[in-house]
């Protein structure tokens, strides 16, 4: 059954603008296609060509591409025929977990490959095709503020690095705006992939400690992405969308 995303909850100025979303075929990325309801032409880029095609067709998007963000050549190929981009949204990335002392180093390296280096390649691939009055949105996560002892040290480092890179790029790429979305516990498919059969028990326990006693929705996080694109005075900022989870 196709999920329908509501119109963003605020006025926007995305009319007739082009939005490219890496990681746009599920979870927060798919919810970020709410930019279409705000008037934008949205192109999604996912790791799986069939899922990307299905997402684009199901939601009437302007287009789709496939790219493995750990292979730079596929990133360049995916955007090579896109003439102009107003907003670039970089949400791709898997849940890379493993203890530093015993995890496979190449596995841990993916946390940075999928985030830092993939973002750099995407920005370089677009070059002057990215509007000077547009924006770039990165993704980090609560781990940047609240690391834990469960094999997420490298992922926490990569998340914090995304926020630092966004601040630097907001100066380096000015007047292009660069911001970071920092989601907390959001109910997306990546949660099930990370926790497997233990997902429901973990979520039930987590909800008891969260200030709002629930997980956030992909739609709520997607609205936050659209806000970062549409608000033309948001720059060099980290927008926490976590229901206050970082406070407990």
- Torsions phi, psi for 138 (to 5 deg): -95, 170
For the stretch 119-141, pLDDT in tens is 999 999 999 999 999 999 999 99
Kindly indicate the confidence band of residue 11, based on its pLDDT and cuts at 50, 70 and 90.
Answer: very low
Query: 32 or 194: whose pLDDT is higher?
Result: 32
- As a whole number, mean pLDDT of residues 147-155 equals 94
pLDDT of 110 higher than 50: yes
| 41 neighbors 54 (Cβ within 8 angstroms) | no
Q: If we measure between CA atoms, which residue out of 185, 194, 241, 188 comes closest to residue 213? A: 185
For the stretch 19-63, pLDDT in tens is 999 999 988 988 888 999 999 999 999 999 999 999 999 999 999
Q: How far apart are the C-alpha atoms of 182 and 172, rounded to whole Å?
A: 21
Whose tokens are 């630092």? That residue is: 164
The ranges assigned to domains in the chain are 18-190+217-239
pLDDT of 158 higher than 60: yes
Q: How far apart are the C-alpha atoms of 180 and 167, rounded to whole Å?
A: 9
- As a whole number, mean pLDDT of residues 205-220 equals 93
Element (H, E) at 224: helix 218-230
Class of domain 18-190+217-239: alpha beta
Kindly indicate the confidence band of residue 10, based on its pLDDT and cuts at 50, 70 and 90.
Answer: very low
- As a whole number, mean pLDDT of residues 89-112 equals 96
Q: Is the pTM of this model over 0.85?
A: yes
Lowest mean pLDDT among 9-13, 72-76, 180-184: 9-13
């Amino acid at each position: 059954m196709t999920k329908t995303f509501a119109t963003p909850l605020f006025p926007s100025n995305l009319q007739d603008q082009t939005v490219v979303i890496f990681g746009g075929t599920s979870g927060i990325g798919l919810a970020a296609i709410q930019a279409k309801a705000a008037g934008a032409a949205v192109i999604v880029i996912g790791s799986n060509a069939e899922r990307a095609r299905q997402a684009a067709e199901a939601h009437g998007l302007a287009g789709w591409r496939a790219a493995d963000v750990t292979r730079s050549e596929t990133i360049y190929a995916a955007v090579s025929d896109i003439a102009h981009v107003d907003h670039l949204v970089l949400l791709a990335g898997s849940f890379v977990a493993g203890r530093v002392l015993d995890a496979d180093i190449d596995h841990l390296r993916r946390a940075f490959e999928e985030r830092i280096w993939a973002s750099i390649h995407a920005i370089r691939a677009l070059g002057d095709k990215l509007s000077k009055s547009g924006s770039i949105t990165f993704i980090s996560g609560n781990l940047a503020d609240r690391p834990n002892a469960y094999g997420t040290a490298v992922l926490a480092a990569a998340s914090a690095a995304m926020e630092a890179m966004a601040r630097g790029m907001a100066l380096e790429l000015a007047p292009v705006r660069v911001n970071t979305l920092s989601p907390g516990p959001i109910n997306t498919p990546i949660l099930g992939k990370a926790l497997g059969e233990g997902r429901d028990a973990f979520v039930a326990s987590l909800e008891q400690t969260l200030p709002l006693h629930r997980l956030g929705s992909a739609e709520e996080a997607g609205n936050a992405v659209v806000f970062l694109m549409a608000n033309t005075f948001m720059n060099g900022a980290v927008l926490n969308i976590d229901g206050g989870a970082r406070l407990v």
